[in-house]
Chains A and B, each alone.
Chain A
């Protein structure tokens, strides 16, 4: 920039033309090529697998034409219009479409868990136990005020370890309990409506508005329970999907309307255009008799068990197995990993003879992150199955083994995140008289949390795709029933895909396998997307 000015003075080294810009340009081009190569390879693979899973060529061209005209053209045109307005309406439109979509996805996941895994009465007992335990802790705080740390700890332990389980036992052996739909209504519907009401009240700074929102939502969810079950909308389906999809959407719409006082938030109509396009397209296709693609990946695939006939094979038990396994993975590895990282970064001696030991441990953790996953499988087999005497191939063993596998990754990334917290923040905290514990809890952890979460998300993404440890701990090739709990035998999605690849028939090796891969990738991406949203929220706050 300043060359033109400096040039005439003659002293600037750029004038001698000894510095060529070529190396820099070549380097930039190489970097670009590397990036493009990576993206094109991965995208190509995904497109290829998706093509095998959906088989678009089996559809009638008319089918594509109908949906192009009813769905693609109107929604793209609307989006282009919003984009030209440049007032953020396009973002509103996409978010308004995305929130109910992900809400429905999450809600279906929860619904699956309630249909197959968690008994409704156990759920009631669990909710009651949590309410009792939290109530006791909060009540104690209210009555006694801020007392000593030990007393609070004692009450917490008594409430969580003593009262909670007792309530659970009491409720689950109680002779008469409310009917299932009432439980769904009061745990999910009431809870969701109450949270929404509180949020609205806080946002508008108006209790009455919050109460109105709560009442409106709760009345709607209650009314929906009385829909005729023969339509397929049974009370649990209605209540859970309403809680996870409709309530967040309503909250978002409320926020947009509030911010745009006066002008009409037209972006909110975008989802209606999309849904209407789908419905009109579906009706037209049906009327005109255009057959859609004979996709391997369809509702039947997602809801049925494996079969020896490719058309009837499905991924449902493995999907549930993977979700349950990930719960175990997260519970077993995240607290331990973050705890270890905190100790190593904040407490462990960094000078003196012991620091050598710490250094040694850190190097070993880094090495463990590179150990092949088969070895972790063998470790899990030896530790959990042979030594601790768990049954082989059950959810807990799979989850803990994969948890061990990603533990070093979580520790290392959490360490990096904690190390990135500026030392000046710690010094400032100490300077104000805070103890080390207070500094860690109030300064270091909140500051490092986004980084810790990013690392953990990447690690969980790896965990859900691991096959070799599952082979070692004896997760079976074919499990036809979804696990009912953490101590049931299970199969996970990558294990199921591995089974299909080994099957004699081509339909399994290319078609059903591809559908499984697309399902696995979709679950992984939505998991990561949810986690990234959470992380961004924390990042903005700090």
Chain B
């Protein structure tokens, strides 16, 4: 009992102290208040950064863009999209994420089901994919944003081969075709090919079949398919009798590691080496267009997607693209793209 009473008296004085200190504290703090709704930007320290992003989401009109843009698709287009996204985000408060899923993988799993705004493709969209998209109420709008010089490469030691025609390539890569180098040319070594190429989800795979082997052909099944182009280069480096093909950007970074083969369209054509200039002039027979597809509904409804696309199409004409290793669009193509964008966005 005594314990309790002494506790009681102690408690009263402490309570008084607490009330006094609390009141004084509240009065003191009242001078240091701020209104998070109105002006959180000047609340000092890092609070400002959070406040402004919070404000951005509420006022999404005009220049004050926010939200997300989701880009999926081709691993060949990925470097272009990633570079443009990086540049775009330095002065826009929009969160652009870029993923590399392969052209077909992007259409199949992300873009057509409606989970992505933009899909990169290293070949034109297939009819089956258009069908899949429209089943889900997604209408793809096509823009060509660059060209690539698809490069066929062999080992640095393979000094016998400098130039190949489409016919020879088709013989090497089609099912039940040539097995050894000497099958193509009797002067070449009697050694089996070691082939590295893109996997079937890749647009490069589709383009090669359609343009080199023939519309309804296919690739032989006994090559090493991979989604990772660096694997192809490593494979070629590893064997004297290896061969593979990939986007020019990867060759540009590996000029010392592998040897690019010149290409001629038919037996009596000119051999042309892969380069940005040759792809631009149209001399290089394996130059191919690179596309991005935007979902029309995203263009219409999401301000940030429209804004990013506008920036993308403008940048696709600049040196940004050639620094990556692709051919930029011409001025005419850019203007055509921009008017197409206007038309489909309904702005």
Contacts and interface: CB of A to CB of B under 8 A. Distances in A.
Q: Do A and B bind each other?
A: yes
A477 B98 contact: yes
B25 to A, nearest CB: 9
Interface stretch (B139-147, B188-196, B249-257, B277-285): B249-257
Contacts, number: 136
B17 to A, nearest CB: 13
Given A178-B32, A481-B89, A502 B44 contact: no
A182 B53 contact: no
Contact of B97 (A115, A178, A489): A489
Contacts of A181: 44-45
Tell me which of A176, A229, A509 has the highest count of chain B C-beta atoms within 10 A of its own C-beta: A176
Contacts of A178: 29, 32-34
A120 interface: yes
Interface residues of A, number: 47
B178 interface: no
A502 B100 contact: yes
B68 interface: yes
A477 B95 CA distance: 13
A356 interface: no
Interface residues of B, number: 50
B100 A477 contact: yes
A119 interface: yes
Contacts of B51: 119
Nearest to A489: B97
Given A308-B86, A477-B78, A484 B53 contact: yes
A234 B45 contact: yes
A308 B46 contact: no
A120 B35 contact: no
A398 to B, nearest CB: 13
A501 B68 CA distance: 26
Interface string A487-526: 0110100000001011111100100000000000000000
Interface in B210-251: 227-230, 249-250
Contacts of B43: 120, 179-180
A276 B49 CA distance: 35
A234 B46 contact: yes
B115 A391 contact: yes
Interface of A: 114-116, 118-121, 175-182, 184, 229, 234-236, 305-308, 385, 391-393, 474, 476-481, 484, 488-489, 491, 499, 501-506, 509
20 contacts: A118-B50, A119-B51, A120-B46, A120-B47, A176-B33, A179-B32, A180-B47, A236-B46, A308-B86, A392-B110, A393-B70, A474-B99, A474-B110, A477-B78, A478-B86, A478-B97, A502-B227, A503-B79, A504-B79, A504-B252
Given A180-B34, A308-B324, 17 more contacts: A178-B32, A180-B47, A236-B47, A391-B115, A393-B99, A476-B70, A477-B100, A478-B82, A478-B85, A480-B85, A480-B86, A488-B68, A489-B95, A491-B97, A499-B100, A502-B229, A505-B253
Q: Which 8 A-B pairs have the closest CB atoms?
A: A180-B47, A476-B97, A476-B99, A504-B253, A119-B50, A176-B33, A120-B47, A478-B98
